[in-house]
């Protein structure tokens, strides 16, 4: 009986370890709930990456970070087809949307391959998503105040996009500095309410909005 109990205990431990080591299940490409359109505030990125191609005096404000398939309960699919590569024509089309080719390739590999769309259609969807969101006039490059509260940035986006609703945008900060704005969109690229997994991540009070130099 002692040996039997010991073997049962060992079996339970091994089963427990296997359960903990099992990777999180990922749905097939195209099986997701909504998109997040991520817009990066370029001057903040360039503070940390001054030699990046994006930061060569082009005067960017918000630039496309990516169009990300998401799960409503939190999390997202990633790198669904690591063998998929962009053609020369697709690279050329993507260059009109993304600030750098390196970012384009990364975003297609990590997020675009999980959209269930071919590369050309994913780029078209990304372009359409960008056209859906109007950047507030107060947040155009060289026209920004030095500081705003996150809730004020949210309000500006809602005012410029009346169909967005009260919970369709999130502001992301790095420390006390504006980093990104994320907009929730349906799979049909209409404004959608963000679930709890997509929320503003900034401290209370004013946050700094760097300007491009």
Active-site residues, by number, are 65, 107, 111
Among the listed residues 26, 186, 179, 47, the one whose alpha carbon sits nearest the alpha carbon of residue 113:
26
Sign for the CA dihedral angle at 83, 187, 159, 171 comes to: negative
Q: Identify the helix (H) or strand (E) that includes residue 20.
A: helix 2-21
Strand partners, 207: 148
Q: Identify the helix (H) or strand (E) that includes residue 17.
A: helix 2-21
Phi, psi of 117 (to 5 degrees): -105, 150
Query: Which residue bears the tokens 């390196």?
Result: 102
Q: What CA–CA distance (Å, rounded) separates 63 from 39?
A: 5
Q: Identify the helix (H) or strand (E) that includes residue 147.
A: strand 147-149
Task: Give the other-Cβ count within 10 Å of 18's Cβ.
Answer: 9
């Amino acid at each position: 009986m002692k040996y039997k109990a010991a073997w049962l205990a060992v079996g339970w431990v091994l089963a427990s370890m296997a359960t903990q080591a099992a990777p999180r299940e990922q749905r097939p490409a195209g099986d997701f709930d909504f998109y997040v359109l991520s817009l990066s505030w370029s001057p903040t990125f360039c503070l940390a990456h001054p030699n990046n191609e994006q930061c060569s005096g082009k005067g960017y404000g918000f630039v496309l970070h990516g169009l990300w398939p998401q799960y409503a309960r939190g999390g997202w699919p990633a790198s669904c087809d690591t063998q998929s590569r962009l053609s020369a024509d697709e690279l050329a089309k993507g260059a009109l949307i993304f600030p750098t080719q390196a970012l384009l390739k990364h975003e297609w590999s990590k997020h675009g391959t999980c959209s269930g769309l071919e590369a050309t259609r994913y780029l078209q969807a990304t372009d359409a998503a960008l056209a859906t969101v109007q950047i507030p006039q107060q947040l155009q490059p060289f026209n920004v105040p030095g500081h705003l509260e996150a809730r004020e940035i949210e309000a500006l986006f809602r005012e410029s996009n009346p169909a967005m609703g009260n919970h369709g945008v999130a502001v992301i900060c790095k420390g006390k500095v504006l980093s990104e704005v994320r907009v929730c969109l349906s799979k049909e690229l209409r404004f959608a309410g963000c679930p709890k997994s997509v929320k503003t991540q900034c401290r209370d009070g004013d946050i700094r909005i760097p300007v491009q130099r």
